[in-house]
Amino acid sequence: MALDATVRRRWFGALVVAVALAMLVAGQTILSGRLKPVEFVVYWLVCLVLTGLAIVAAFRDLRALQRQHLEEQRHLFHATLERIADECTTKPQRQSRPSPGKAAPR
Q: d(Cα 99, Cα 55) in Å, to the nearest integer? A: 65
The residue-averaged pLDDT of 15-20 equals 98
Q: What's the whole-model pTM score?
A: 0.72
Q: d(Cα 49, Cα 43) in Å, to the nearest integer? A: 10
- Report helix, strand or coil for 105: coil
Q: Give the pLDDT score at 98.
A: 65
Write out pLDDT tens, residues 79-106: 999 999 998 888 766 666 666 766 656 5
Write out pLDDT tens, residues 58-73: 999 999 999 999 999 9
Q: What angle in degrees, to the nearest 10, is found between the helix axes of 37-90 and 5-28?
A: 150
Q: d(Cα 39, Cα 45) in Å, to the nearest integer? A: 10
Write out pLDDT tens, residues 20-71: 999 999 999 999 999 999 999 999 999 999 999 999 999 999 999 999 999 9
C-beta separation of 100 from 42 below 8 A: no
Distance of CA 29 to the CA centre of its chain: 36
Q: d(Cα 52, Cα 95) in Å, to the nearest integer? A: 67
